[in-house]
């Protein structure tokens, strides 16, 4: 999720000058600069590169389907350190244009040179919406654009813009298909620790903070043994056809209990598919899969739901980009349960900021 569209760019004629200036800037950045340009911070790239699931599945999608890449022009959006561009160059891409607007682009240029790939890979520092490429069209777009909850702080808008502007008809997009999924979990202990804590702080009530805290979804690792319902797909993202308008949606869900239990929260995660080519592959950010840096997104419900095996928790989830900042999300969850031991109905407004 490097930020391909959060800085000012310019024409390619200025690229070399910007790289020199960028190098000086990158080496003199303060913590304040890192706050405003967080994707320049090496720690973020280290975390993503060490995310074995993420990096190895992109590598597999490129290497096992080199027919998609060999002799082709590739665009890497939000290239970060340039790792995906180098995977593409290694399998025989004709040319790779790697775009990032944070200061990491300065280092991506050095990394490409360090690995002797500067004849194939061109790093361009700038905003996708503002730069021009030295070619009219590309054959392939590769991007690791996904954010927490798939859509939070994601670069999907930017990828869509690049697709409409540069991708040849029938061109390849990696990845090309994703699903956003939801399950119900039992989480009494953690909910007590994180939320009920505010009911009594050294004998004082701080419930006003609890009321706000519950509206902030928690990004954390969920243990698979906490999952007490089946999975419901909330949203399918077919990247070659998806539009910016599609990022606002309302999806119904119906979660069937796998055992007698209590539901304290709903948990969202996404699956990423590379289905174009000779040998498809995918990775999941499910609690049941090997963990990734995306973890899972936890939405605590305002009440505990008592549910019996086979009973259903029904509802809808609505997601829309925040009006003030499209990278932030406003999410509404409505739910209803008519069970043997409990009838419950509610609605919660959540803010991912």
Active-site annotation, residues = 144, 153
Sign of CA dihedral 16, 19, 25, 27: negative
Q: Which residue has the tokens 């509802």?
A: 315
327: left (phi over 0), alpha (psi -120 to 50) or beta: alpha
Tell me how far apart the alpha carbons of residues 146 and 59 are, in angstroms, rounded to a whole number. 16
The secondary structure of residue 239, as a DSSP letter, is T
- Cα angle value 305/311/317 (rounded, 5°): 60
Tell me how far apart the alpha carbons of residues 173 and 274 are, in angstroms, rounded to a whole number. 8
138-143 and 167-174 strand pairing: parallel
DSSP code per residue over 124-165: EES-TTT---SSS-EEEEEE---BBTBTBT--HHHHHHHHHH
259: left (phi over 0), alpha (psi -120 to 50) or beta: beta
* Cβ–Cβ < 8 Å for 174, 142: yes
Sign of CA dihedral 119, 93, 97, 57: negative
Tell me how far apart the alpha carbons of residues 256 and 228 are, in angstroms, rounded to a whole number. 9
Q: Please state the φ and ψ torsions of residue 287, each to the nearest 5 degrees.
A: -60, -25
312-321 and 329-338 strand pairing: antiparallel
- Cα angle value 53/55/57 (rounded, 5°): 65
């Amino acid at each position: 999720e490097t930020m391909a569209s959060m800085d000012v760019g310019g024409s390619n004629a200025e690229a070399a000058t910007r790289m020199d200036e960028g190098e000086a800037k990158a080496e003199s950045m303060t913590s304040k600069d890192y706050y405003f340009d967080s994707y320049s911070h090496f720690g973020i790239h280290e975390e993503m590169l060490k995310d074995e699931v993420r990096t190895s599945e992109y590598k597999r999608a490129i290497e096992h389907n080199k027919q998609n890449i060999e002799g082709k022009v590739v665009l890497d959006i939000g290239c970060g350190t340039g790792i995906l561009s180098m995977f593409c160059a290694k399998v025989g891409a004709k040319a790779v244009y790697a775009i990032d607007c944070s200061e990491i682009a300065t280092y991506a240029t050095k990394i490409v040179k360090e690995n002797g790939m500067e004849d194939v890979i061109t790093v361009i520092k700038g905003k996708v919406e503002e730069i021009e490429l030295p070619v009219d069209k590309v054959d392939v777009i590769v991007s690791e654009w996904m954010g927490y909850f798939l859509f939070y702080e994601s670069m999907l808008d930017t990828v869509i813009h690049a697709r409409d502007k540069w991708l040849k008809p029938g061109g390849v997009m990696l990845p090309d298909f994703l699903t956003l999924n939801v399950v119900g979990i039992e989480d009494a202990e953690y909910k007590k620790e994180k939320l009920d804590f505010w009911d009594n702080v050294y004998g004082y009530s701080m419930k006003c903070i609890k009321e706000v805290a519950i509206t902030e979804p928690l990004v954390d690792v969920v243990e698979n043994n906490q999952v007490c319902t089946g999975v419901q797909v909330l949203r399918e993202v077919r990247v070659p056809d998806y539009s910016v308008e599609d990022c606002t949606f309302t999806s119904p869900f119906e979660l069937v209990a796998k055992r007698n239990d209590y539901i304290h929260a709903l948990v969202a995660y996404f699956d990423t598919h590379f289905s174009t080519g000779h040998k498809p592959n995918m990775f999941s950010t499910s609690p049941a899969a090997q963990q990734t840096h995306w973890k899972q997104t936890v939405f605590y419900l305002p009440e505990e739901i008592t549910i019996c095996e086979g009973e259903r928790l029904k509802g809808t989830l609505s997601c829309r980009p925040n009006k003030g900042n499209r990278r932030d999300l406003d999410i509404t969850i409505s739910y209803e349960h008519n069970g043997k031991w409990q009838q419950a109905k509610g609605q919660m407004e959540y803010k991912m900021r």
